[in-house]
Amino acid sequence: MKPDRDAPIGVFDSGVGGLTVAREIMRNLPSEKIVYFGDTARVPYGGKSRENIIRYSRQIIHFLMEQQVKAIVIACNTASAFALEAVRDEFDVPILGVIEPGARVAAAETKNKRVGVIGTVGTVDSGIHASYLKKLDPEITVIGKACPLFVPLVEEGWLHDPVTAEVTARYLQEFKDKDVDTLILGCTHYPLIRSVIREFMGEEVRLVNPAYETALELRSLLEKKELLNTGGKTEEFPYRFYVSDLAEKFRAFAGSILPYDVEMTKKIDIEKY
């Protein structure tokens, strides 16, 4: 059975970070319903193995399929890097990751063909951005750098802070030395410290936020498949949030990303899927 235009979009992440992607979808596809799943019991994915990330992603997609979604966005860069290719053909709905849309824009916009990528250890070590970018333009040089302190700094709320600025300088100096003109923010938390990154890298470097690019790509995809919801909103609040651990942290942090209280969070035993 073909899902209808009215069905929700499934969005998942290792935790709260993917809400920055959900937010872009809400902004750019305002008629769409969203079912969000944050794997707060197993967060973070960044330092974990490919094998486990694939298993986790499959479980979550099974859960989202039960919610009868018409498309799925893997909002987590690490899960996109490790699991997208493995799971894409196993399910009956289109599945989109955040790596490809970001890479496509970076390839289109770099002038000197020197692109930087920052993300978790898992994402950066996977080399997946480089493999997409090289496919798009073999002349592009890709420089990757894992920035494991950025997520805890964001979650601590130190968004405009001398410590964050110092850590940023430490992590990103290499990109200046190597003269990159385009930097992909390859982790969902990083747009939240965009201004600190901008200040260090300077105005001339293009910062790519894959969340925004993914929302645009999702719209094209839904249009192409005749699944775009073009009607008005049918529900007062068309967003549902599920987590695997009911820690208070999710709600608190969600409140700092989304412009409303995320009160209706439900806990799912994700290991059953």
Opening angle at CA 227, ends 225 and 35, nearest 5:
125
Q: With contact defined as beta carbons under 8 Å apart, do 78 and 120 qualify?
A: yes
Q: Any contact of residue 199 with a copy of itself (CB under 8 A)?
A: no
Residue 255 Cβ vs a copy of itself, minimum distance, rounded to whole Å: 16
Q: Is 129 part of any known ligand binding site?
A: no
Q: Any contact of residue 155 with a copy of itself (CB under 8 A)?
A: yes
Name which position in 66, 166, 174, 223 contacts a copy of itself (CB under 8 A): 166
Q: Any contact of residue 149 with a copy of itself (CB under 8 A)?
A: yes
Phi, psi angle pair for 259, to nearest 5°: -85, 20
Q: How many residues does this entry show for the chain?
A: 273
**Which residues between 40 and 69 bind a copy of itself (CB under 8 A)?**
40-42, 47-49, 51-52
Name which position in 4, 66, 109, 156 contacts a copy of itself (CB under 8 A): 156
Q: Any contact of residue 229 with a copy of itself (CB under 8 A)?
A: no
Provide the CB-side half-sphere exposure for 268 (13 A, CA). 25
**Cβ distance to a copy of itself smaller for residue 14 or 182:** 14
CA distance 163 to 32: 39
Q: Would you tell me how many other CB atoms lie within 10 Å of the CB of residue 139? A: 8
CA distance 71 to 81: 18
Q: Is 229 part of any known ligand binding site?
A: no
Residue 163 Cβ vs a copy of itself, minimum distance, rounded to whole Å: 6
Q: Residue 220 contacts by C-beta under 8 Å, 6 or more apart in sequence? A: none
Judged by CB under 8 A, the number of residues near a copy of itself is: 26
* Helices vs. strands in the chain: H and E counts, helices first: 11, 10
Q: Any contact of residue 136 with a copy of itself (CB under 8 A)?
A: no
The binding site for a copy of itself (CB under 8 A) comprises: 40-42, 47-49, 51-52, 121, 148-149, 151-153, 155-156, 162-163, 166-167, 170, 245-247, 249, 271
